[in-house]
Structure 1
């Protein structure tokens, strides 16, 4: 078989698939994105539980959950719902960096076999550092079968500027 891309140097000149290069100025407060859906399987839950050493009866013991648990079935660990919910929005923007999370709340239970999806909203953006601004983005994760909100959090991210901080501050002030 002939290699259609034999030159390693030329391969690296091709843009990376699904790489996002948006900068601070490219985002608008109020932007909303909806994710794909995904179903959480029992195998994934057990793998997650074993990796993070979470064997609480609500997430690891089917008999206990059915017979003694409040919900009468096993739950998906909250940390997993958080990871999967935000992972549905994962992108390869090389210009954004996680700064932290605020207001993480597990609103309703998520069960094995549930299908989840999310909504992401850019709540605010603020010039912060010489080379980067700060975003606050909300994530709402829903159970697809009944549209119940199961998780809410706000993600703080730094994002590189296209222009200088002084220009961004002036633009923000002009917009007020």
Structure 2
């Protein structure tokens, strides 16, 4: 496990994940896990009468799969603090393949813990047509190197 400290994160550094195709099984399992059986996700015939003309993946499914794609090697110096500005921009359909683009957009000191800082990643989940379907900011709480001051 490589240690990546606050000081090691570079603004505008970016990475792109591999892709994952969402299936009908993904939608059914997610509905069972969450209790969200709305017809937008489950009723193919009803959806034919709606603007998208087909079932759409749950936004929370798109989020969880997309964020899961960003999980790489464990960094023992950082952990997820949460997500801000989460938006479901376009629908994701059965058979769509999504991937994530991640860019470091901000670094700031923790207001109360001088040995830690926040690193903010802009996460964009993108489908096979290069459409952004979801966007959010992922906040990481990261340890600073011993004896280091703010960067």
Q: Is 1:72 aligned to 2:56, yes or no?
A: no
Q: Work out which of the residue numbers 128, 131, 135 in structure 2 matches 1:148.
A: 131
- Match in the other structure for 1:159: 142
What does 1:75-114 align with in structure 2 at a 5 Å threshold?
A: 75-91=56-72, 92-114=74-96
DSSP-derived class of the 1:88 partner: helix
Instruction: Decide which structure has greater helix share.
Output: 1
* Superposition misfits of 4+ residues, deviation over 4 angstroms: none
- Match in the other structure for 1:8: none
Shift of 1:131: 2.3
Output the CA distance in 2 between the equivalents of 1:120 and 1:72.
31
Output the CA distance in 1 between the equivalents of 2:2 and 2:31.
32
Q: Is 1:136 aligned to 2:117, yes or no?
A: no
Shift of 1:20: 4.0
Instruction: Decide which structure has greater strand share.
Output: 2
CA RMSD of aligned residues (A): 1.2
Greater Cα radius of gyration, structure 1 or 2:
1
Q: Contact between 1:127 and 1:168, CA under 8 Å: does it hold in 2?
A: no
Q: Contact between 1:48 and 1:80, CA under 8 Å: does it hold in 2?
A: yes
- Match in the other structure for 1:36: 18
DSSP-derived class of the 1:44 partner: helix
TM-score by length of 2: 0.93
